[in-house]
Amino acid sequence: MKVYLDNASTTNVSKDVLEAMLPYFKEEFGNPSSLHEKGIKNRKIVNKSRIKIAELLNCKKSEIYFTSCGTESINWALKGLAFNNKTKYEIVITNVEHHATTHTCSFLEGMGFTINYLHVDSNGFIDINELRNLVNENTLVVSIIMANNEIGTIQNIKEISEVCDQARTYLHVDAVQVVCHTKLDLQELNVDLLSISGHKFHGPKGIGLLYIKEGTHIESLIHGGQQELKKRAGTENVPYIVGFTKALELGIANLGQYTKRLNDYSNLFLKRLDNENIKYILNGPNIGEERLPGNLNLSFKDKDGLLLTYLLDKRGIYVSTGSACDSESIEPSHVISAIEVPRDYINATVRFSIGNETTSEEVNYVIDNLIDILKNEM
């Protein structure tokens, strides 16, 4: 049996999404900017997709900009604000951001910006009072990862947005792990910019979205044609836009039962480890509303995470480690370091991310094999 439990890294393109996309590769391949029938058909489908997405996310269609991925959206949000700004030179981020944010901020640091880091507690939550103290009249933007890709912590964005409003600073949210995994309502959240990526919810890789709230002005990074309201040039990726929209529609319709099923699987997983007296820590919040459904980031006492991943791989089980490797050493990731996992656990951190297509047989197969490996092979 092969079991893919790495859905936080990426998901497959679902059958319905692929079927929706296929005509736009072949018969309906026109360029939305062309004035003939084939072009107009494509322009209409891009427009229809934008309207549908706006409806699903509760925003205006003019606030949606297609990009090539989550990383591009994040780069655009942060550099776009920075390049458009003449007065404010501080940025606030957490110390558990994705590298798309941290490395963009390092680049901006090289241009003279100061990056201030918010600490997180042992479950990965920021301290709202620390944010209140950090933001000031020089803060250009606060950028926060809404749901952590490693440990699944879901931050209270509404509370953060109130602080940003009071301080008159922009708020950008990295919602790449959020969409179709937990509720997202742009009116309710009240953020200025928000980044999304299609491949985390059974859409294709290579398509993302940046939400730019009406009235928020950011510099373009990609210049050329008039696409995306003249803000992000390049011929629209019509099949992927169609796939993104279909995946979003299906994912949101499925959300209630998805959450329940994945939380049930996670509870079963932990219960069986407890029954076998396995010594582990669940990194991040308890299973429930503050944790991404299906995310199980576990550290095992006195074990080796890379070896565990290798042994699982040999049995056809695909997961991620909580380590970052360079050529000479294997270090715990910056997220695992930030939440201060105890020393005797930190070296065996593995992320199991259950997905929409995971079956109960697969979950049980993984647990059986994990227990066997931990007890007999390590």
Ligand X SMILES: Cc1ncc(COP(=O)(O)O)c(C=O)c1O
Q: Which residues are catalytic, by number?
A: 325
Give min distance, CB of 155 to ligand X, in A: 12
- Contacts with ligand X: how many residues (CB under 6 A)? 12
Q: Toward ligand X, which CB reaches closer, 197 or 227?
A: 197
- Under the criterion CB under 6 A, does residue 208 sit at the interface with ligand X? yes
Could you say which residues in the range 54-93 bind ligand X, by CB under 6 A?
69-71
- Under the criterion CB under 6 A, does residue 178 sit at the interface with ligand X? no
- Candidate ranges 18-26, 159-167, 170-178, 347-355; the one touching ligand X (CB under 6 A): 170-178
- Under the criterion CB under 6 A, does residue 180 sit at the interface with ligand X? no
- Under the criterion CB under 6 A, does residue 145 sit at the interface with ligand X? yes
Give min distance, CB of 120 to ligand X, in A: 14
Cβ-closest position to ligand X: 70
Q: Toward ligand X, which CB reaches closer, 42 or 101?
A: 101
Tokens 């890379």 belong to residue = 306
- Between helix 238-253 and helix 37-57 the angle, nearest 10°, is 30
- Under the criterion CB under 6 A, does residue 174 sit at the interface with ligand X? yes
Give min distance, CB of 68 to ligand X, in A: 8
Give min distance, CB of 371 to ligand X, in A: 29
- Under the criterion CB under 6 A, does residue 197 sit at the interface with ligand X? yes
Q: What region, left, alpha or beta, does residue 255 occupy, with left being phi > 0 and alpha being psi -120 to 50 degrees?
A: alpha
Give min distance, CB of 176 to ligand X, in A: 4
Q: Toward ligand X, which CB reaches closer, 65 or 280?
A: 65
Residues that bind ligand X (CB under 6 A): 69-71, 98, 100, 145, 149, 174, 176-177, 197, 208
